[in-house]
Amino acid sequence: MTIQTPTPFPASRRIPEQVSFDRKELGMILGLYGRMVAAGEWRDYGISALRDCAVFSVFRRTAERPMYRIEKHPRLRLKQGQYSVIGMDGQILKRGHDLKTVLRVLERKLIRVVE
């Protein structure tokens, strides 16, 4: 009788069933959201965790289309950057590897509102 050693599972990169923002990312996004609500610019938000991306949508009013979408596409992390801010018309306002840097495009709008 021979004893076989078990073969290990291959080291595979399992694709997650859905992409979502982690705690640190949500902290940055919700911090900006809170400041914009206090300035009276934003009123509501929605979060979508999809198979290939996560989306944080910002609304001026609940029933409207989103003013901005903050998206996370992990498949683009080695190329253009996994974070992007997209305007109401679908134009990409900023894209990059660092969420804090990408959110600065919306911070500038907050500074203009406060002044």
H-helix or E-strand spanning residue 49:
strand 44-49
Length of the chain in terms of residues written:
115
Split at pLDDT 50, 70, 90, the class of 30 is very high
The ranges assigned to domains in the chain are: 23-114
23 vs 8: CA distance, rounded Å: 33
Q: Give pLDDT tens digits for 81-103.
A: 889 999 888 899 999 999 899 99
Q: pTM for the full model?
A: 0.76
In this prediction, residue 57 has a pLDDT band, given cuts at 50, 70 and 90, of: very high
